[in-house]
Amino acid sequence: MKINKLFLPIIILSILMTAALVVFSASSSNLPKDFNSNGDLIKGWYWLRDNSLQSYAQWTFENIPPGDNDLTLDITALATDRPNGRKGLPAEFLLIYEVPGGNIFVTQKVTLPNVSPPNDSVGYTCNGQITIPRLVLQEASVLFLRAERISLDTNHVAFNKKSIEIIETAEVETYPPYQETQFYQGGQLPDTNNQDEAFLIQQPGIYHGSLGGQIAGGQIDREDWYSLNLQEGQIINLQLAQPSNGSFIIYLRKPESSSSVGSIATQDNIRTLQYVANISGVWFIRIRRSSGEGNYQLSVDIQNQNDAGSNHDAGNSFEDSIDLYPGVFSGFLNRVDKVDWYNIKLLEGQTINLQLIIPPDSNFKLYLYRPESTSSRAVSPTPQGNMATLQYTADVSGIWGIKVTRSKGEGDYQLSINISGYPSGQIDQFQSVSAKGYIADKSRSDGSLIQGWYWLRDPACQNYAEWTFENIPPGNSDLTLDITALTTNQVGGGSGFPARFRLIFGFPGSGSMGGVFQTAEITLPNVSPPNDPVGYTCHGLITIPRDFIAGATTFFFRVERMSPNDNHVAFNRDSITLFTEEPSSGFHKIQSSGGKK
């Protein structure tokens, strides 16, 4: 099947416009001066794949020009699941970066999509870009980067010296890169007769093909093959519209499998297949002619699961459960994904009330598990209408498990969590702190200003709020941040939601050296009293280890949303009060997973 040449002038013009609108630094500082790795060297690439997770790759960049724009890293890596393993898999790893002179590394989890073309016999190539905020560098001209595997469950990854290039981009409009799939979106798919020839469909859409005609050698065209890159937990929906005089069947195959999965529903001349990917990799679609001939239409829809706003599936065990707090959350179950697990912290004597709103004609149930127990402590009764409820008083403090199961039907559900007295009296405890509190000397935000609060709610997650504290006296006690925020799930949205955000903290740079910063993921509980008609208030205390900021007297704090699926959050100048003495109770410590020393 030939590509329509009509699009070529448009593509060339788009590329020229992109090149004209994006500014790249043309110095040698774009490429690393030094590189080293203790990974397994294979054909010029160092593979990080040891069971002890001690393998690494490191780059040093020098002579980075000063500026106000953030730095963009263009990263290329190889990835597979085992030696001589499968193709089409993403590269997942930890990227750790530091400026000289600091003993704190900023850690970021990176996932690069697999970009191998369909005719790549190896299929290991991954590529993508990430951004390093300029505030990490300040005026520093040297940057260290280090890559490590996340866990034994993640794919093997490989790097070399040219894997990372620094790009400083001007803040101007850019056009999206041209992708070959633009030719096929809504158009005729190429003829492919076996799995080895499968054409890679790179984005959801409606596609067209045909079966029953003659192909090379005078043979009848009996089947077509296509492939998709799917991540574990994604929902794939396939719909095949057959010709009126033909009978065509659609199949779905897992990576490295010769058998089909999923069940087909047929109505009139439409065949539908839905499945939840239980493994990441290249999946295959096979369309086979049973009788007749003619054109068919293939509709491909891929949905990321977003249980509790996590942008992934809640998991099938307590170990893969998602942390929850009082509020309202959404999830999804169907014939393949039958279980979702969550967890929540309860104190002895607290009563948890769970309410589950389920899809019509469905039977979903709730289970509550005590800490470190494999048997449920309470089970919801048979749903009344489209609602199931469960109430239980905790007889022990700890992390309790919540399981949602499906035995009939499928679709989206809504889980509401209420804990009696949660956290009653907490505001009074916070206000009773006797230590002296400091208010920020400087603050700013680019959020939407509404009644004195700056809302971070843009889909691109670029909104921020920043505070600078100056002349803070030295001492040996850890710092404590008393943080108040507002949160809701949408514009004019509901009440009772927790505030979840990324906190970046540290001290600014000076001279030729950059500042030292660390990040943490924070969740503040909603503390709105029952009679609050708005119910947006969230509050908590966060502790900052003194050894991280030893000797510094100026501190910088910045908050950002982590995902467009997170709740909207709002801050103002008075949202953070800094204490130089540790309160006696009621504070939430920064989790070590947020950064790495």
- CB of 136 closer than 8 Å to CB of 517: yes
Can you tell me the distance from the alpha carbon of 239 to that of 206, in angstroms, rounded to the nearest whole number? 9
User: 426-594, what's its fold?
Assistant: Jelly Rolls (2.60.120)
What b/e sequence results for 150-182 when a residue is b if at least 16 CB atoms lie within 10 Å of its CB, and e otherwise?
Answer: eeeebbbbbbbbebbbbebbeeeeeeeeeeeee
**Which tokens hold the place of 83?**
């030696």
Tokens of 522: 């924070």
Q: Is domain 181-303 classified as CATH 2.60.120.260?
A: no
User: Per-residue pLDDT for the chain (597 aa), expressed as one digit of tens each?
Assistant: 333 333 333 333 333 333 333 333 334 458 899 999 999 999 999 999 998 888 999 998 888 887 777 788 899 999 999 988 888 889 999 888 775 554 445 677 788 888 888 778 889 999 988 877 766 666 678 888 989 998 888 899 999 999 999 875 434 333 333 333 333 444 567 778 888 888 888 778 888 888 988 776 778 888 999 998 888 778 888 999 999 888 999 999 999 888 888 878 888 889 999 888 878 889 999 999 989 989 999 999 888 777 887 767 888 888 888 888 777 788 888 877 889 999 988 888 888 888 888 888 888 999 999 998 887 777 877 667 788 888 898 888 889 999 999 988 888 898 888 877 444 333 333 333 345 678 899 999 999 998 889 999 998 888 999 998 888 887 777 788 889 999 998 887 888 888 889 898 876 544 333 456 778 888 888 877 767 778 888 888 887 876 666 567 788 899 999 888 888 999 999 999 888 865 443 333 433 334 432
Q: Considering the domain 307-419 in this protein, what is its CATH number?
A: 2.60.120.380
Integer distance in angstroms from the first to the last C-alpha of the chain? 55
User: Candidates 1.10.10.10, 3.40.50.1370, 3.30.420.10, 2.60.120.260; correct CATH number of 23-168?
Assistant: 2.60.120.260
Is the link from the previous residue into 32 a cis peptide, with omega within 30 of 0? no
- Structural domain boundaries in the chain: 23-168, 181-303, 307-419, 426-594
Token pair for 265:
């529903």
Contacts of residue 356, Cβ cutoff 8 Å, sequence gap at least 6: 364, 366, 380, 383, 387, 388, 389, 390, 404, 413, 414, 415, 416
**What six digits make up the tokens of 542?**
């966060």
Q: Are 417 and 323 in contact (CB under 8 A)?
A: no
| Residue entry with tokens 């050296």 | 513
User: Which residues partner with 265 through β-bridges?
Assistant: 272
DSSP H or E run through 17: helix 8-21
pTM score over 0.85:
no
Residue-wise burial string across 475-489, b where 16 or more C-beta atoms lie within 10 A, e elsewhere:
eeebbbbbbbbbbbb
- Please check whether the two domains, 181-303 and 426-594, share a CATH topology: yes
Beta strand 125-132 pairing with 71-80: antiparallel
Residue 310 is encoded by which pair of tokens?
């996590």
